[in-house]
Chain A
Amino acid sequence: DVKVTQSSRYLVKRTGEKVFLECVQDMDHENMFWYRQDPGLGLRLIYFSYDVKMKEKGDIPEGYSVSREKKERFSLILESASTNQTSMYLCASASGGVGSEAFFGQGTRLTVV
């Protein structure tokens, strides 16, 4: 079974804190993604990576950064958390090419107070 594991299910952080969300996949997938999920907005892409040390901005990258030092691990960083970053964060991984599909982690519910 493909497994995408996010380090925390629930997090509560204070405004201005630096926040790290970790994601690990065990299927040797090249591609990894970070989305945030908000009611009525669906899933919106924050950042993605098609290779180690490679990153590309998604649709809503402002206030976020990412790190991919190893193939299996993709970290999302909130440099200075704000209340409007309270959301559900979902990590996904996929191999490239025909026949591949994206597998999602269980999500991290982040609350910034």
Chain B
Amino acid sequence: QQQVKQSPQSLIVQKGGISIINCAYENTAFDYFPWYQQFPGKGPALLIAIRPDVSEKKEGRFTISFNKSAKQFSLHIMDSQPGDSATYFCAASKRQGGKLIFGQGTELSVKP
């Protein structure tokens, strides 16, 4: 039973384009939705996170859009750069600092 579903599994974007990764969750008790970025040979690192009391959060080129009624959230990477090439994971938790339920991951490749 996959509580957090992520798509697409892989994504190729041209430099300067917009990368969009989508996630859907089932458990309405989730209260914290982070996105993690992982480079090859490294552990995941927190990129940006949102609570369900807001519909959007922006940090630089990275934006989370959150739709509570649809139980969906997405990551938008504006002006994608080759350095953004990595694997991205969405996650959900009932509280910050608690156990995280991860999506399946998206391998992003940004072509120069």
Contacts and interface: CB of A to CB of B under 8 A. Distances in A.
Given A40-B9, A42-B105, A105 B43 contact: yes
A51 to B, nearest CB: 13
Interface stretch (A13-21, A66-74, A79-87, A91-99): A91-99
Nearest to B43: A104
Interface residues of A, number: 30
A4 B46 CA distance: 14
A42 B5 CA distance: 10
A107 B36 CA distance: 15
Contacts of B4: 42
Interface of A: 4, 30-31, 33, 35, 40-45, 48, 58-59, 90, 92, 94-107
A16 B100 CA distance: 30
Interface residues of B, number: 25
Given A43-B102, A106-B43, A101 B96 contact: yes
Contacts of B42: 106-107
B36 to A, nearest CB: 8
Among B44, B103, B104, chain A packs the most CB atoms within 10 A around the CB of B44
B101 interface: yes
